[in-house]
């Protein structure tokens, strides 16, 4: 659990990166240490050779050996005035393995030679060439054993590594506690607030108040605060809608009883001798029957049980004719609205006649009311023809009008309940219910266009 936390991972990353940086520093440091070691041997050898030259050769034997042993070399060659002279010498215990010239050696060459020396498993005899100190000659050349050099290089590397571990550990711990204080603790506060809010999202007192001093975390807190405020508002709206739904269900129950009584009275009107009453009575009975069915459907919707459509082969032209006839009766005498219908008599769909009538009636009624609001003549077109959608054969029904078009808010939330109606005074349920009914048929209801020249919807349903 601890190793998977953000602060723990940051701790390990700091240790790794500091160690990597120390390794990058270690190699040049070791190369520099080797160079200083060899230069020190050259300087000691030069001092020993100068002591011998100053004595005019009187130093010999054991004293010369002591000078070589103190310098840590086997022999010393000094070139002065273009003459190469073996100043001090002693028996060399083996062959010379390599020669290194420190005069003008590059950094990369020094690092390469140092790493090569540390990889050696056995001591070697090497020759080293350098410049004499204080220009006491043209060059100085020594021969020495690398056993002590290898030991000191490894000892120096271990010390540097140990110091690196201490520095990286101390730095990592400081950064660890800093990150926990400045980042992890504020994040944990946000997480606790989210968990607390999730237990009671309708309680506004549990909404996070942004107060972080870190810019990025402050932005996250502000975004979370906005989301929680929006969600709390939506949940409250949901409760209000649920209460409204209960009220609508009760009203629909009472309205259904009233409409049933009106339906029985309409049945008696059919026995009237007046020809106009006889013609209007069937339409009135049909409208009352649909209103009763709508109330029953509303009661079912209030129980979250919208009845599934009873799919059956249905002639599209018949439904369209019924809708147009009903709307013609509702057109006022002052309104000049004409209906253009183009629907083949043989075109069939699989649909629920009552639900499809409700959908078409809603769309045509919206178109009629939009034209009436302009107090200008208008046209409502209802066209149907075979069409394909996502590779499936079906029927497309297009309902268009010459009205003023939908307002921007209606277009933005067109098929969302209670988000603004398609006409002034609407509550935004008609199109939401229509879209839901069409989806229940496995079809699709969509807005094709809405501008100053009018509005057009399209319904796609599967063919019979």
pLDDT, tens only, 42-96: 888 888 777 766 665 555 566 677 777 788 888 888 887 666 667 777 888 888 8
* Whole-number pLDDT of residue 255: 64
* Whole-number pLDDT of residue 357: 92
CA distances from 15 to 25, 166, 382 (A): 15, 10, 74
* Whole-number pLDDT of residue 294: 63
Lowest mean pLDDT across 7-21, 131-145, 269-283: 269-283
Helix (H) or strand (E) holding 288: helix 275-302
* Whole-number pLDDT of residue 208: 81
- pLDDT category at 460 given cuts 50, 70, 90 is very high
Helix (H, G, I), strand (E, B) or coil at 278: helix
Q: How do strand 378-389 and strand 337-342 relate by DSSP bridges?
A: parallel
* Whole-number pLDDT of residue 347: 92
Q: Give the domain ranges of the chain.
A: 6-171, 205-306, 308-462
> What class, spelled out in words, does domain 308-462 have in CATH?
alpha beta
Q: What is the mean pLDDT of residues 157-174?
A: 81
Among 367, 393, 391, 368, smallest CA distance to 448 is for 367
Query: Which range in 177-181, 218-222, 321-325 is most confidently predicted, on average pLDDT?
Result: 321-325
Sequence-distant (≥ 6) Cβ neighbours of residue 31 within 8 angstroms: 107, 110, 111, 113, 114, 115
Q: What is the mean pLDDT of residues 11-38?
A: 82
Q: What is the mean pLDDT of residues 169-188?
A: 80
- pLDDT category at 316 given cuts 50, 70, 90 is very high
CA torsion sign, 206 to 212 to 216 to 219?
A: positive
Residue whose entry in the numeric block shows the structure tokens 């018949």? 318
Please return the burial class of 306, using the count of CB atoms within 10 Å of its CB with bins 0-12, 13-18 and 19+.
middle
- pLDDT category at 209 given cuts 50, 70, 90 is confident
The span from the CA of 122 to the CA of 419, in Å, is 87
| DSSP secondary structure letters along 425-446 | T--S-HHHHHHHHHHHTT-EEE
- At residue 426's C-alpha, the angle toward residues 424 and 430, to 5°, is 135
Please return the burial class of 414, using the count of CB atoms within 10 Å of its CB with bins 0-12, 13-18 and 19+.
buried
Helix (H, G, I), strand (E, B) or coil at 306: coil
Rounded to the nearest integer, the mean pLDDT of the chain is 78
- pLDDT category at 305 given cuts 50, 70, 90 is very low
The predicted-structure confidence for 394-420, as pLDDT tens digits, reads as follows: 999 999 999 888 887 777 777 776 555
pLDDT at 378 over 60: yes
């Amino acid at each position: 659990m601890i190793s998977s936390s953000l602060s723990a991972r940051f701790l390990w990353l700091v240790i790794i990166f500091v160690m990597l940086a120390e390794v990058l520093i270690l190699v040049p440091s070791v190369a520099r240490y080797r160079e200083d070691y060899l230069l020190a041997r050259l300087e000691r050898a030069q001092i020993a050779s100068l002591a011998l030259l100053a004595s005019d050769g009187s130093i010999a034997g054991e004293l010369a050996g002591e000078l070589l042993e103190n310098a840590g070399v086997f022999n010393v060659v000094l070139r002065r005035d273009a003459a190469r002279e073996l100043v001090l010498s002693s028996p060399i215990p083996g062959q010379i393995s390599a020669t290194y010239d420190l005069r003008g050696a590059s950094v990369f060459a020094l690092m390469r030679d140092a790493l090569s020396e540390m990889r050696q498993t056995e001591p070697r005899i090497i020759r080293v060439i350098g410049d004499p100190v204080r220009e006491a000659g043209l060059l100085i050349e020594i021969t020495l054993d690398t056993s002590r050099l290898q030991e000191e290089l490894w000892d120096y590397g271990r010390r540097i590594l140990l110091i690196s571990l201490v520095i990286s550990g101390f730095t990592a711990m400081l950064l660890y506690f800093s990150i926990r204080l400045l980042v992890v603790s504020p994040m944990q506060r946000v997480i606790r607030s989210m968990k607390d809010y999730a237990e009671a999202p309708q309680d506004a007192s549990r909404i996070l108040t942004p107060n972080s001093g870190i810019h990025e975390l402050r932005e996250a807190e502000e975004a979370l605060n906005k989301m929680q405020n929006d969600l709390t508002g939506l949940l409250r709206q949901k409760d209000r809608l649920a209460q409204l739904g209960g009220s609508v269900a009760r009203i629909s129950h009472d309205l259904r009883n009233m409409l049933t009584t009106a339906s029985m009275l309409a049945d008696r009107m059919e026995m009237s001798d007046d020809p106009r009453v006889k013609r209007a009575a069937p339409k009135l009975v049909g409208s009352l029957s649909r209103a009763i069915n709508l109330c029953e459907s509303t009661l079912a919707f209030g129980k979250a049980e919208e009845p599934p459509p009873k799919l059956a082969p249905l002639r599209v032209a018949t439904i369209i004719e019924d809708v147009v006839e009903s709307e013609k009766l509702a057109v006022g005498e002052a309104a000049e609205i004409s209906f253009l219908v183009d629907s083949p008599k043989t075109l069939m769909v699989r649909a629920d006649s009552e639900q499809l009538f409700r959908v078409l009636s809603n769309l045509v009624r919206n178109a009629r009311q939009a034209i009436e609001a302009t107090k200008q003549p208008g046209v409502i077109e209802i066209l149907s023809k075979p069409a394909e959608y996502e590779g499936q054969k079906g029927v497309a029904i297009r309902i268009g009008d010459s009205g003023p078009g939908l307002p921007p808010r209606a277009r933005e939330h067109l098929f969302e309940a209670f988000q603004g109606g398609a006409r002034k005074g609407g509550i935004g349920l008609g199109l939401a219910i229509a879209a839901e009914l069409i989806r229940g048929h496995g079809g699709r209801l969509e807005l094709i266009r809405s501008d100053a020249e009018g509005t057009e919807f399209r319904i796609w349903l599967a063919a019979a």
